[in-house]
Structure 1
Amino acid sequence: MTNIAIPASAYVAIGSNLADSAQQVLRAFTAIAALPHTRLCSRSSLYLTAPVGYADQPDFINAVAHIQTSLTPQQLLTALLEIEQQFGRERTFRNAPRVIDLDVLLYNDLQQHDAGLTLPHPRMHERAFVLAPLVEITADITIPGRGQAVDYLQATHNQDLHRVGDDWQRQ
């Protein structure tokens, strides 16, 4: 008897503030969709947001991708790090400007803390730039161990976030 892997539902945060950031995010959607054993189910609009942590840098374009994948969480993370490397991501210091940033937010209802990967993403519930695009594509999504994402989004109402025009989001 052969075991057939049932694809997991996963969400990936995408951000960029260098090298035509809107185009970098759109390229990232394409690169994620091309991952092996992975299907892009939906993608959010693009959102313009102020930087977090290190403020002396350009604003970010952020989005979220919903995928189904047979990759394990660690394999998905490794694949996303490879995409970052292909895009030219340099890690000079924490919260530095970046051409692309890809983070696994959710993987099914999995809760784990391993070297290099914590699920759900440990700060996603604090960040409007993650929550707004996430709730846009899956309004009733629950953050495992926390609750409804929409409730956390309401708590981030003071964070600067603007949905950008449709001319940037769909190609």
Structure 2
Amino acid sequence: MSRAVLSIGSNLGDRLAHLRSVVDGFGGRVVAVSPVYTTAPWGGVEQDDYLNAIVVVEDPELDRADWLRLGQQLEQAADRVREVRWGARTLDVDVIWCAERVDGALVVCRSDDPTLTLPHPQAHRRAFVLIPWLDVESDATLEVDGHTEAITDLLDELSADERAGVHRTELSLLPAAEGSAL
């Protein structure tokens, strides 16, 4: 069994439909979905603003590599093109955090593999990840440089400009009857 936190974003095409395709694609594995936020692009490449959200998924049969593989399949289905680092994209699905069951206990995954580094090495610097994550897991923690820190503390360490660039919208990735968490 594994549980993963996925950061999803889109700034090309029907941004909301691209984000909804992730929730639909993971289906019954989705345990929580944050509200949708609009954010300025991160990384210095001139482009339109993003819609971002967090999706928490869980499955007894999947591991960290499966979450990455499934996320990349959804990106491909949305015609994601990887030409410019931090450039515009139809859909981005990042595995931010993952835990797997080992001997009955849920153990946080750590990986230095360049294909899937866990926890995500830049998540603690990105308000567009931390703010929506807090919406679905208010007590979430993240390991940074060998130390486990509360997401709230990591968010407090970010500049006011970084935090101010993340704006909650009225958009939802779930049908109205379902609300913000499953």
Instruction: Give the partner amino acid of 2:161.
Output: N
Within 5 Å, give how 1:156-167 maps onto structure 2.
156=158, 157-159=160-162, 160-165=165-170, 167=171
Q: Determine if contact 2:19/2:173 at 8 Å carries over to the other structure.
A: no
1:170 aligns with 174
Q: Percent identity?
A: 31
2:133 aligns with 134
Instruction: Give the partner amino acid of 2:174.
Output: R
User: What are the ranges of 5 or more consecutive residues in structure 1 without an aligned counterpart?
Assistant: 1-6
- 1:10 matched to 2:13? The reply is no
Deviation at 1:114, TM superposition (A): 1.2
Within 5 Å, give how 1:1-171 maps onto structure 2.
7-33=1-27, 39-69=29-59, 70-108=61-99, 109-144=108-143, 145-156=147-158, 157-159=160-162, 160-165=165-170, 167-171=171-175
Instruction: Give the partner amino acid of 2:15.
Output: S
- Structure 1 CA distance for aligned equivalents of residues 79 and 68 of structure 2: 17
RMSD: 1.4
2:180 aligns with none
The list of structure 1 runs, each at least 4 consecutive aligned residues, that deviate by more than 4 angstroms after superposition, is none
From the superposition, tell whether residues 161 and 73 of structure 1 become closer, same or farther in structure 2 (CA, over 3 Å).
same
- TM-score normalised by length of structure 2: 0.83
Deviation at 1:169, TM superposition (A): 4.0
Aligned residues between the structures: 160
- TM-score normalised by length of structure 1: 0.88
